[in-house]
């Protein structure tokens, strides 16, 4: 519905109108990729393989102009001709999107990982994003860095499992000693380079590699989440960890005699 009548209004788009388009697109994309609500529009739409709606509107307008020009000359555009024009416009869209992603204002972790493989990512025929796989691909999840910077439920961004100063998605994937056995199984399947961009490239190679990465994320993030819940349930935990103001106090204050 958002793109209804796009050939009519696409040339009148302003910066403000683009922002209005991006708000609902972000909400839909975040839900589609099973991401945290804090995931940016850039990262969510990229993961979903859903190009900016203003670019999609230009594709629709290009096809419409082509068909209209033929009809104005008394010709009837064939399905094959229209399909070729649509395919050319779609390729131009991907190229434009890739250029625009070169200077992201948010979601840089996701952009750096997927942008080099954008065409393959959008056109892939396998692979489903899960809640925990998306956490690793966005950095928004049960990581010390995220919990410290955004919801501010950690006093520091350090790793509870190994003591490293920064617990990020890349640290969890590549370095944290606590996940050595799981990482061993992953390396056996996709190879030893666990930089996020290389991991994405291997995921796109085949279903087996995608499943190996998803399995690693599922196992490791489940354990991290369980440990996080245990820390939250601790009556002596730092008050910064409480979910709601006063909630921890009400939970642990002894009942009156």
Domain boundaries, the chain: 6-107, 124-245
Cβ proximity of 174 and 162 under 8 Å:
no
Average pLDDT taken over every residue of the chain? 89
The two tokens of residue 220 are: 């490791």
Q: Which pLDDT value is given to residue 237?
A: 67
pTM, rounded to two decimals: 0.86
More confident residue, 170 or 233: 170
Q: Which residue has the tokens 């991006």?
A: 22
**114: closest CA among 181, 49, 175, 188?**
49
Q: Which pLDDT value is given to residue 239?
A: 65
Residue 203 pLDDT grade (very low, low, confident, very high; cuts 50, 70, 90): very high
To which H or E segment does residue 8 belong?
A: helix 6-9
Which tens digit of pLDDT belongs to each residue from 19-48?
Answer: 889 999 999 999 999 999 999 999 999 999
Which tens digit of pLDDT belongs to each residue from 242-254?
Answer: 554 445 444 544 4
Which tens digit of pLDDT belongs to each residue from 60-116?
Answer: 888 888 888 877 888 877 888 888 888 999 999 999 999 999 988 899 999 999 999
Q: Which pLDDT value is given to residue 252?
A: 43
Q: Which pLDDT value is given to residue 172?
A: 98
The two tokens of residue 26 are: 């972000």
């Amino acid at each position: 519905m958002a793109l209804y009548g796009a050939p009519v209004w696409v040339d009148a788009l302003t910066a403000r109108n683009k922002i209005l388009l991006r708000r609902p697109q972000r909400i839909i994309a975040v839900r589609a990729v099973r991401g945290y609500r804090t995931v940016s529009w850039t990262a969510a739409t990229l993961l979903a393989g859903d190009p900016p709606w203003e670019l999609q509107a230009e594709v629709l307008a290009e096809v419409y102009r082509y068909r209209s020009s033929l009809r104005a000359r008394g010709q009837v555009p064939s399905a094959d001709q229209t399909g070729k024009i649509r395919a050319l416009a779609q390729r131009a869209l991907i190229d434009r999107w890739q250029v625009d992603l070169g200077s992201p204002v948010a979601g840089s972790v996701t952009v750096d990982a997927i942008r080099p493989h954008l065409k393959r990512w959008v056109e892939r025929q396998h692979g489903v994003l899960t809640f925990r796989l998306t956490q690793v691909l966005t950095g928004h999840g049960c990581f010390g860095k995220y919990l410290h910077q955004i919801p501010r439920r950690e006093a520091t961004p350090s790793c509870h499992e190994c003591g490293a100063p920064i617990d990020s998605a890349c640290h969890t994937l590549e370095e944290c000693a606590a996940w050595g056995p799981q990482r061993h199984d992953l390396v056996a399947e996709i190879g030893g380079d666990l930089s996020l961009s290389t991991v994405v490239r291997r995921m796109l190679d085949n279903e087996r590699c995608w499943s190996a990465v998803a399995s690693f994320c599922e196992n490791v993030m489940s354990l991290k989440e369980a440990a996080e819940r245990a820390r939250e349930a601790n009556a002596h935990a730092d008050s910064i960890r409480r979910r709601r103001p006063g909630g921890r106090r009400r939970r642990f204050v002894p009942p009156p005699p």
